[in-house]
Amino acid sequence: MIVQRIIPTTICKFHYLNSRGLFELGSLHSLTGTILKISKRSKTRFLSNEILYGRSVCNVALQVSRRPIFRLHLLERWREILPTDSRIAAIMEVAADRKIPITYANRKMMDSMVAHRPHQGVCLEVGELPFLGLAKELCKTTATLDGRNCIWVLLCGILDPMNLGAILRSCLYFNVGRVIVCGNCCPLTPVVSKASCGASEILHVHATEEPLEMIYVSYDGNKNVLRNEQWDIIGTVAENHDFLNPENVRDVRLNNPSLIVFGSEGDGVPPEISNACTRIVTIRRQFNGNMDAASSLVESLNVSTASAIILHALSD
């Protein structure tokens, strides 16, 4: 990266996303927008700070305030001209009330902070948002929500942050009681937050390394947990997995609190978890009997799309 000699002016230090999606310590020159590395010897590395981007996401993060918030970055033009978007006005008001430092930058500078992702003129430097632990007591809960049966969601090894974000958005929309991840699931990154439209900032997402202990095997060694608490464990599969004899989700009605399990993009729900399920559901493909050869090449839905359809059907 070439650093030009320029007239000294305001330098803002921050952590930005480089082209590989990692955070790097740098600074921005307020006149040129040039990114200056703090040291020629500094190496790209994971840091505890993250850059949230987008108006809705940053507004939600400020309102919910589950992360440490270090600095707000806004487009330079909003230093003099008040924005017409109410979300930006709310962001600026909260930042002022909480005495969060505000830095104004041109579009080139802000594009560099988030590797040219769609920031809409608003970036927020924040701390990480970790998964929460899963206490034993949570697995013995049989409460209902608004008179309806409680729905929890278990996500097994969702790797794509866009998929995870979209699923969390659907979970919030359909009032899922609890979201739990297991396996090699991607963390709650800024990309997840953006894809979820801020839902990941609101939902309390738990993580467990032993999902079978929650579903099928007891913690205390003498009783099952969810299974003995009259929960339905509902696995989800693609339509072509006929060997599991799945039910059409449109025909399923919930009579008990339910844990809905969604599997990874490639392998689906792990067999050991499928074997612990009380029911298996799928989305039956709708067609008029004249499917051409090209259409048959796409045999299943994206996991985020499928989760929205299934949650809608089972929340009805």
In a shared domain, residues 57 and 82? yes
In a shared domain, residues 23 and 159? no
**DSSP state at residue 268:** B
In a shared domain, residues 116 and 28? yes
In a shared domain, residues 189 and 92? no
Q: Which domain holds residue 162?
A: 136-285+299-315
In a shared domain, residues 166 and 19? no
Lowest mean pLDDT, pick from 32-36, 112-116, 167-171, 235-239: 32-36
172, part of any domain: yes
Contact 219, 139 (CB under 8 A): yes
Domain CATH number, residue 178: 3.40.1280.10
In a shared domain, residues 91 and 230? no
In a shared domain, residues 73 and 157? no
166, part of any domain: yes
Q: What is the pLDDT of residues 198-222, one digit of tens each?
A: 999 999 999 988 888 777 644 444 4
- C-alpha 120/C-alpha 138 separation (Å) is 39
In a shared domain, residues 196 and 280? yes
4, part of any domain: no
228, part of any domain: yes
For the segment 141-145, the average pLDDT, to the nearest whole number, is 47
pLDDT over 90 at 74, yes or no: yes
Q: What is the pLDDT of residues 11-37, one digit of tens each?
A: 344 444 444 444 444 544 333 333 344
Question: Rounded to whole angstroms, what are the CA distances from 267 to 21, 29, 106?
Answer: 25, 47, 44
- Tally of structural domains, the chain: 2
| End-to-end Cα, the chain, rounded Å | 55
145, part of any domain: yes
Give whichever of 44-48, 79-83, 206-210, 282-286 has the largest mean pLDDT: 206-210
In a shared domain, residues 166 and 51? no
